Copies of this chain bind each other. A is one copy, B any other.
């Protein structure tokens, strides 16, 4: 019942700090990323931190890069492996809608877009996802420009949903209502 989630650890690595940083970002946002707070949470002091990282900024950078690398799930490859292109969109929507945990860091980063360090990361990640979405729409039968615009619309709806629902807790939607919303979204945004 220590302050740390993993109480029995003797020595830490840089990766441990990065993971802890991402967890803290997901919980309280980028602004709450303070080295003394992190150290307390890990059961050590600042002395440890400044051995692994030159500065707080360096930790943020490392954590972001780590997230960008490993955070991009294999969802993409799994979806692309599906034989029927028209079946990919509904599957993608339902998947994303029901896996909330992996999106918490993205939602937190979305609120830190004034921070110079997160902007390029978010730009790259969002760009890749949008291109992926655009491809799916093209393979589902949309013309190139239509596919691009539909991808923009879909991704904007995704981002907005993140903000409105588990950052703001807007209309405390029930499970059944939520499922109905997802199906409505599929019906509205899927061609055909």
Contact = CB atoms under 8 A, between A and B. Distances in A.
Nearest to A166: B113
Interface string A137-163: 000000001100110110111111111
Copies in the complex: 2
A42 interface: no
- Main SS at interface, chain A: helix
Contacts of A126: 164, 168, 170
For chain A, give the interface size range: 35 or more
B123 A163 contact: no
A82 to B, nearest CB: 23
Nearest to A159: B160
Interface of A: 28-29, 31-32, 110-114, 119, 122-123, 126-127, 130, 145-146, 149-150, 152-153, 155-164, 167-171, 180-181, 184-185, 188-189
- Complex A-B, nearest 10 residue pairs according to Cβ-Cβ distance, in ascending order: A160-B160, A159-B160, A156-B160, A149-B184, A113-B167, A111-B111, A156-B161, A157-B157, A156-B157, A29-B114
Given A153-B188, A156-B164, A160-B163, 4 more contacts: A113-B168, A119-B168, A123-B169, A160-B160
